[in-house]
Structure 1
Amino acid sequence: MKNLVQRWLSVLVCAILVSSLFLTGCSNTSDAQGNQSNLDNYVPRLNGIATVEMKIKGATTPILIEINGNDAPITGGNFVDLVERGVYNGLVFHRVISSPDPFVAQGGDPKGNGTGGFIDPETKQERRIPLEIKLKDDEKPTYGKALGRQGEAVTRPVVLKHLKGAIAMARSQPPDSASSQFYFALSDLDFLDGDYAVFGYVKQGMETVEKIKQGDRIESAKVVSGSENLKK
């Protein structure tokens, strides 16, 4: 009986943590995002590797993030494009769960409250990108389909795992609803693999990531290498 209670408590905790990654605004996805035949030419996309330097206001050590466009070209391209546009400069980390168990530091919402995303100045609409998950031995990622605890990632591991220091996209319940909100994994979070798109890893400055508090702001984010790999 004790083991059964502990198992149910574990499931409940995981459900609560996962729900914290959901955006609370409504979401719609475009026909183009739902049509996989169009995704080979989807832009922005990152064809290769890029490095982003992110400075947190008040922190002395910047965060260096390696963005993997080889295995997450659309998700990585979206992030690098938003960095180049200056979208993240000054934005707040609106959700940080670091205790009792380290979980995530989430930011990137222009509204600052977990309900918003990037409004494209050309379309005047919120940009939404397809969920992008690459499984081991696959040539290309799978799009628009959660592959996590109830899916194919159970039997075949994802290429980009939720290891400590991973950076991934937050989204609302529909798979193709990520926009600009991202999160840093503060510990290994393998139960998120296949359901949320990891697109890179912290290479330097993890001590700064671990000190992020709710309300802290991104002082600046800039691409320091690999900008030539971004296709718009």
Structure 2
Amino acid sequence: MLTEKSRKQIKALIKQALGGIKAAKAKKPAAKAKKSAGKAKKPAAKGSSTLDAAIKDPENTILIELKGGTVIVELLVDIAPGHCARMKELARGGEYDNVAFHRVIDGFMAQTGDVKNGDMEDDFNLRMAGTGGSDLPDLMAEFSGVPHDRGTLAAARSQNPNSANSQFFFNFGDNHFLNRQYTVYGRVLKGMDHVDAIVRGEPPTSPDRMISVKVAADV
């Protein structure tokens, strides 16, 4: 027969055991919360954004930041390797940043790329914009069968076919009368609406600019 003292000891042991079980259950949700927090910190998969989805070849894709947003340009390296290499070189050197659109004709094209006289942050003179290029040698023409369709990017030049350097233009429409006369070396994949919004003028009174130009692989 259990004594009163024995009963008290047994009750105390049962109470202690139940307390341990409750404590263990109380700690368990905290462990789950910690695991969930760990999942929340997992980085998003590369290419999950809309911007990334449009880019198939980052090394040969140019990102041009305009006032309205980013223009994604695919370089046609198989068609005009020399012009594509030149654009990447100047972009990586920051040469195109803040360069004005000095000649923009409605229904025709928007011209920019004068890295010598078009930098709006470096003693900018609007009357001189469009008269210069880079310090690099002029490029040999790379004419092809790729037409001057809306959204294509082509090299600007003088009357000499082999005088393209750093300047280029976006075609607002299908300008097929330029075919095989001006080197086409890129096309807009996304953001043509931002190109369409560029201020018109020859030159514009208050020209728009390329805020930045980067190779997608470097971003």
- Under a length normalisation based on structure 1, what TM-score does the superposition of the two structures give? 0.60
Unpaired runs of 5+ in structure 2? 1-57, 119-128
Residue in structure 1 matched with residue 210 of structure 2 by the alignment: 218
Q: Does 1:67 align with 2:89?
A: no
Residue in structure 2 matched with residue 166 of structure 1 by the alignment: 152
Could you list the structure 1 runs, at least 4 aligned residues long, displaced by more than 2 angstroms after superposition: none
Question: CA offsets, 1:68-118, max 9 Å, x none?
Answer: 1011111111111111111100100000001xxx10000011212210000
User: For the Cα contact (< 8 Å) 1:91–1:217, is it kept in 2?
Assistant: yes
User: Which of 127, 133, 142 is 1:117 aligned to?
Assistant: 133
Residue in structure 2 matched with residue 50 of structure 1 by the alignment: 60
The 2-side partners of 1:200 and 1:161 are apart by 11
The 2-side partners of 1:193 and 1:79 are apart by 21
Unpaired runs of 5+ in structure 1? 1-47, 121-126, 135-157, 228-232
User: For the Cα contact (< 8 Å) 1:54–1:221, is it kept in 2?
Assistant: yes
> Between Structure 1 and Structure 2, whose CA radius of gyration is higher?
2
Question: CA offsets, 1:146-171, max 9 Å, x none?
Answer: xxxxxxxxxxxx1x210000000000
RMSD: 1.5
**SS state at 1:96 partner:** strand
Q: Does 1:84 align with 2:70?
A: no
Map 1:130-209; keep pairs closer than 5 Å: 130-134=140-144, 158=145, 160-209=146-195
Residue in structure 1 matched with residue 111 of structure 2 by the alignment: 106
Q: Which has the higher helix share?
A: 2
Q: Which has the higher contact order (CA 8 A, sep 6+)?
A: 1
Residue in structure 1 matched with residue 138 of structure 2 by the alignment: 128
User: For the Cα contact (< 8 Å) 2:91–2:215, is it kept in 1?
Assistant: yes
User: For the Cα contact (< 8 Å) 2:64–2:71, is it kept in 1?
Assistant: yes
Identity %: 37
- Under a length normalisation based on structure 2, what TM-score does the superposition of the two structures give? 0.63
1:96 is aligned with what amino acid?
A: V
**SS state at 1:133 partner:** coil
User: For the Cα contact (< 8 Å) 1:49–1:70, is it kept in 2?
Assistant: no
The 2-side partners of 1:219 and 1:74 are apart by 24
